[in-house]
Amino acid sequence: MEEFSIKTKQKDNISILDIEGYLDAHTSVELEKCFEKIISENKFKIIVNFEKLSYISSAGLGVFMAFIETARSNAGDIKLCAMSDKIYNIFDMLGFPILFEIYKEENAAIEKFN
């Protein structure tokens, strides 16, 4: 069975989350916990790399909505990158690029923070 996993790395003061597999109402709980942990450590500059994510439902989108305000009000942000067309189309269809910065490559998101 295809799983969901998160690998986190730190680059200077930026937390980078590599998410893999499928993000639905079941697995989004894991991502939510990961965000909670990062935020509790007062890390508010966050990049999520979607390169290995194969599926997202609205439950997954809700996780990003849940933390964006906190990140921004603490001089940080949640920037998204490396989405497949399939995933980007879901974000785009609902208008998420209005609120979220979405980059083709991780480096572009890192540069934007710097």
What does the binding site for another protein look like in residue numbers (CB under 8 A)? 1-2, 22, 24-26, 55, 57-59, 61-62, 65-66, 68-69, 86, 90, 93-96, 98-99
Nearer Cβ to another protein (100/113): 100
> Which residues are CB-contacts of 4 (< 8 A; sequence separation ≥ 6)?
19, 20, 21, 22, 23, 27, 30, 31
Instruction: For the CB of residue 12, give the shortest distance to another protein in the complex, in Å.
Output: 27
Instruction: For the CB of residue 5, give the shortest distance to another protein in the complex, in Å.
Output: 14
Nearer Cβ to another protein (1/41): 1
Nearer Cβ to another protein (11/29): 29
Distance CA 82, CA 23 (A): 15
DSSP H or E stretch at residue 103: strand 102-103
Q: At what angle do helices 58-73 and 28-40 cross, to 10 degrees?
A: 10
